[in-house]
Structure 1
Amino acid sequence: MARKQRIDYLDYLRLLAIFGVITVHVATSLNFYQQERAGLNWQLLNFWDGLSRFCVPVFVMISGAIFLNPAFDLSWQRLFKKYIGKLLVLYLAWQLIYCGWYYFAKGCDLVTLARLLLGSYDHLWYLPMIIGLYLVTPLLRPIASKRQLLEYFLLLALVFAWLLP
Structure 2
Amino acid sequence: MNKIPYISSLRFIATIFVIVIHVAAPILSNAQPYSLDWYIAQYFQVISQFCVPIFFMLTGALLIPRDLSFTEFTKKRSKRILVPFIFYSLLYLIIDIGFQLNTATPNYYLIFKNAIIGIVNGTKFHLWFIYALIGVYFFIPFIGKSIRTANKKEVTIFLILWIITCNTNLAVYIPKINLINFSSYLGYTVLGYYLSKFDIKFKSNKIILLTLFIIGITIPLMSIEHYKMNQVNGDFSILFKTLCLISSKLSGGYLGINTVLTSISIFCFFQLLNISLTNSKYLNKFDKYSYGIYLIHPLIGMIPLFMYINTKLSNPFYVIIISTILSVTLSYISIALLSRIKSLKQFIT
The reply to whether TM is greater than 0.5 is: yes
Counterpart residue number, 2:14: 17
How many angstroms does 1:11 deviate by?
Answer: 2.0
Let me know the Cα RMSD of the aligned residues: 2.4
Q: Distance in 1 between matches of 2:79 and 2:113?
A: 29
**Cα distance, 1:151–1:52 mapped onto 2, change above 3 Å:** closer
Matched, 1:150 2:155: yes
Aligned-pair CA distance for 1:151 = 4.3
Query: 2:44 and 2:160 mapped to 1: Cα distance?
Result: 33
Quickly say closer, same or farther: Cα 1:159–1:55, change in 2 above 3 A: closer
Letter of the 1:56 partner, please give it: V
Cα deviations across residues 61-101 of structure 1 (Å, max 9, x unaligned)? 011011112xx464544422231343222222222212211
8 Å contact 1:84–1:134 — kept in the other structure?
no
The reply on whether 1:59 has 2:55 as its aligned counterpart is: yes
Q: With a CA cutoff of 8 Å and minimum separation of 6, indicate the structure with the bigger relative contact order.
A: 2
Aligned equivalent of 1:91: 85
Q: Matches of 1:40 and 1:15 in 2, distance apart?
A: 30
Distance 1:18 1:159 in 2: 28
Structure 1 residues 1-165: aligned runs within 5 Å: 4-29=1-26, 31-69=27-65, 72=66, 74-107=68-101, 109-121=111-123, 122-145=125-148, 146-147=150-151, 149-151=154-156, 153-154=158-159, 156-158=161-163, 160-161=165-166, 164=174
Percent identity between matched residues is 26
Judging changes above 3 Å, is the alpha-carbon distance between structure 1 residues 52 and 156 closer, same or farther for their aligned structure 2 residues?
closer
Q: Report the 3-state secondary structure (helix = DSSP H, G, I; strand = E; otherwise coil) of the residue aligned with 1:105.
A: helix
Determine helix, strand or coil for the equivalent of 2:81: helix
CA distance in 1, matches of 2:165, 2:45: 29
* Matched-pair contact (CA < 8 Å) for 2:14–2:51: yes
Q: Which amino acid aligns with 2:162?
A: A
Bigger Cα displacement from structure 2, 136-145 vs 124-133:
136-145
Q: Bigger shift: 148-157 or 78-87? A: 148-157
Deviation at 1:7, TM superposition (A): 1.8
Distance change >3 Å, CA 143–CA 152, structure 1 → 2: farther
2:100 aligns to what SS in structure 1?
coil
SS in 2 for 1:5: coil
Distance 1:16 1:38, change over 3 A: same
Find runs of 4+ consecutive structure 1 residues off by over 6 angstroms: none
Name the TM-score, length of structure 2 as normaliser. Answer: 0.41
What's the TM-score, normalizing by structure 1?
A: 0.81
Match of 2:251 in 1: none
Structure 2 gap segments, 5+ residues each: 102-109, 168-172, 176-349
Greater shift in the superposed pair: 154-163 or 98-107? 154-163
1:24: Cα distance to partner? 1.1
- Once the two structures are superposed, residues 9-63 of structure 1 have per-residue CA deviations (whole angstroms, 9 ceiling, x without a partner) of 222222221221121122124x331111232111111111111010000110011
C-alpha separation between the residues in 1 aligned to 2:155 and 2:34? 46
Q: Which has the larger radius of gyration?
A: 2
Point out where structure 1 has 5 or more consecutive residues left out of the alignment.
none
**Which residue type is aligned with residue 97 of structure 1?**
L
